A and B are shown apart, each in its own frame.
Chain A
Amino acid sequence: MILESTGKKIFISLGLFFALFLSTLVVAPMIGPVDIDLSNALFGENVDSRNVDAEIFFLARLPRILLAAIAGAGLAVAGAIFQALLRNDLAAPFTLGVSSGASLGAVIAIRFLGVSPQGFSLVPIAAFLGSLLAIGLVFGIVPNRRGELPAPVMILAGVTVNFFFAALVMFIHYISDISQSFQIVRWLMGGLDVTDYSTLLCISPLVLIGIACLIFFSRDLNLLSAGIESAQSRGVDIILVQRVGFICASLITGAVVSVCGPITFLGLIVPHIVRLIVGPDNRILIPASMFFGAAFLIMCDTVARTIIAPAEIPVGIITAMLGGPFFVWLLRKKL
């Protein structure tokens, strides 16, 4: 028997996922309805004070691909964390109602605050506030006197918040006019098409700091995911770790959803696939999910941008179309 330190294994497995991420990051900007010349985009001269290749590369494709990377990484890590904390491998970033809260916020903004097609939009801000409201509700309902967060009660509270907010969303949708209704439906499908660098700058710090924080607590998350009382008996501060975990994962999810809408299934499948490959050790699982989630969403978005070009499909449809069959396969495997 050779007992090996996880430290050695981590570099091999993480290296592979990082390489995958890097290659999608390099290849994806090349793919699109218009062929661009990369060397011209990067080093070319302006023609008539314009460089079309550079414009497409830097203004249309790159921010969108970077947003896909951030969103994919965030949702995948949040999924892994919710699965560990709830000790349930069918949990996802949206299990605790974060996305329905964001949807409610977005829908209220679209219906009542009016959104100008150009210029500053209130939708992401309202969506983020909505996600905070959902998190606040779940954390207001659940903790008992000792501040514990029992997993089954968390899930029930999340499901309840989800249903309640979904009903409100439907109600507001029902009383909307046609053009609002279209915007609502479009928002609920999730997409990456509203990108500029400022949105990217708004959510990246939150997502990246959240992930760093979760990686720091990954050993504690391992023990917690193996059993709450065992973790406690080994000296894990379970209340602290649960709080940090739930709050970071919820904020990451809220930030991503407020910009991209509820991109479904990614947060469920990515941690699953990664766990099948590297095992459940969160010290590897979290960073590997981060890279794979980013790569996966970049790939899905590339498909969404190109498959019916010049039109686009909302990326949420692509992730769900890939995710649905996977979910069925997973359920059948478990039976």
Chain B
Amino acid sequence: MNNPNNNPSENESLILESKNVSFHYTHEKEEAITNVSFKIEQGDFLGIIGPNGSGKSTLLKLTAGILAPSKGKVFYKNQPIPDYKKKDFAKLAAWIPQEAGMVFPFRTEEVVLMGRYPYKSGFSFETEEDLKIASEVMELTGTKFLFGKKFTEISGGEKQRVLIASALAQKPETLILDEPISFLDIKYQIEILEILRKLNQKHSVTVIIALHDLNLASKYCSRLLLLKNGKMVREGSPNAILEQSIIESVYETQIKTLIDEEDGSSIILPRTKNN
């Protein structure tokens, strides 16, 4: 952000740029996203936070090219997303849904192998390389033990990890995740976030993630984008965003902000009504 070069077409590290993006669901009265602009540089770990219904999922779908903005444009590496071939874009950016309403009993490894779709064409079967990659990402996400199980018959947290494995099988340079840890216990929350941090730091994968847990967002994200009613309230470092007054007004809740002495990150504590 403190890059002096303001011309996006000459900025090498710019991954994604949202320019005055608005989005309107058909038949809805209000816009779900209103005039949101932001930039994501390579290697960012951007957290999107905001109350329920503030537009996090909608914004992620816009950045993943699933929804097309009603106004404004989303650029990926200075090129509007619709200008990419669908499969080419899927090799660059992978999206993980908030929930996968899967009806049919695909096995977990079949779900992971679906991530190889953009690399295939027509009627074909998996190659040795596809199987090797699927095996690696299942190892990485700790889902190998789910091999052979039906996706419809595993727990919510296991599903989320399989979906992450499936997105990793796409070998993307950008991961777009919609509340990937909402069903996980604290161990797996940390484990998934550590995996993402490792991908981010070692393999310079750019991460865009919607999170509800403000404390985890504070610890893992390099930047936060705060939404309310479809509008961007503020964007910046976690400590700048998680200020007591901002969070209290956006979430309409009494909180207090502490500082974790170990890493200097902000911690949000709720204040209960009777004290």
Chain A residues in contact with chain B, CB under 8 A?
Answer: 1, 3-7, 10, 84, 87-89, 144-146, 215-216, 218-219, 222-223, 225-227, 229-230, 232-237, 275, 279-281, 283
Contacts and interface: CB of A to CB of B under 8 A. Distances in A.
Interface of B: 26, 61, 64-66, 68, 85-91, 93-95, 97, 100-107, 109-111, 114-115, 117-118, 120, 122-128, 131, 134-135, 138, 144, 147, 170
Contacts of B89: 235
A233 B66 contact: yes
22 contacts: A3-B147, A5-B126, A84-B104, A144-B26, A146-B68, A216-B122, A216-B123, A222-B106, A223-B117, A226-B111, A229-B66, A229-B95, A229-B97, A230-B95, A230-B100, A233-B64, A233-B94, A235-B85, A235-B90, A235-B118, A279-B110, A281-B110
A219 B64 contact: no
B100 A233 contact: no
B131 A5 contact: yes
Nearest to A285: B104
Contact of A280 (B68, B104, B128): B104
A236 B26 contact: no
A138 B13 CA distance: 48
Contacts of A219: 117, 120, 122-124
Contact of B135 (A1, A145, A226, A230): A1
B99 to A, nearest CB: 9
Contacts of B117: 219, 223, 234-236
Nearest to A222: B114
Contact of A279 (B97, B106, B124): B106
B104 A226 contact: yes
Nearest to A280: B104
B229 to A, nearest CB: 23
B144 to A, nearest CB: 5
Given A3-B135, A145-B26, A280-B105, A234 B115 contact: yes
Contacts of B138: 1
The list of the 9 closest CB pairs from A to B, nearest first, reads A7-B125, A235-B90, A235-B87, A280-B104, A233-B95, A235-B86, A3-B131, A235-B118, A234-B117
Nearest to A281: B110
B97 A227 contact: yes
Contacts of A229: 61, 66, 95, 97
Contacts of A222: 106, 110, 114
A3 B109 contact: yes
B216 to A, nearest CB: 24
Nearest to B64: A233
B74 to A, nearest CB: 14
Contacts of B97: 227, 229-230
Contact of B86 (A6, A87, A146, A236): A236
A226 B100 contact: yes
A146 B122 CA distance: 25
A233 B61 CA distance: 9
Given A227-B100, A234-B94, 11 more contacts: A3-B131, A3-B134, A89-B104, A219-B117, A219-B120, A219-B124, A225-B104, A227-B97, A227-B102, A234-B114, A235-B90
Contacts of B128: 5
Contacts of B110: 222, 279, 281
A6 B116 CA distance: 14
Nearest to B61: A229
Nearest to B121: A219
B86 A226 contact: no
A256 B26 CA distance: 38
Contacts of A3: 109, 131, 134-135, 147
A17 B195 CA distance: 44
B71 to A, nearest CB: 15
Contacts of A89: 103-104
Contacts of A88: 103
A280 B108 CA distance: 12
Which of A1, A6, A234: most chain B CB closer than 10 A?
A: A234
A234 B90 contact: yes
Contacts of B66: 229, 232-233
B189 to A, nearest CB: 22
Contacts of B88: 235
Contacts of A283: 123, 125
A279 B109 CA distance: 13
Contacts of B26: 144-145
Given A5-B125, A6-B125, A237 B144 contact: no
B64 to A, nearest CB: 5
Contacts of B100: 226-227, 230
A216 B123 CA distance: 5
Nearest to B109: A3
Contacts of A144: 26
Contacts of B91: 235
A212 to B, nearest CB: 10
A7 B106 contact: no
A225 B102 CA distance: 8
A262 B126 CA distance: 39
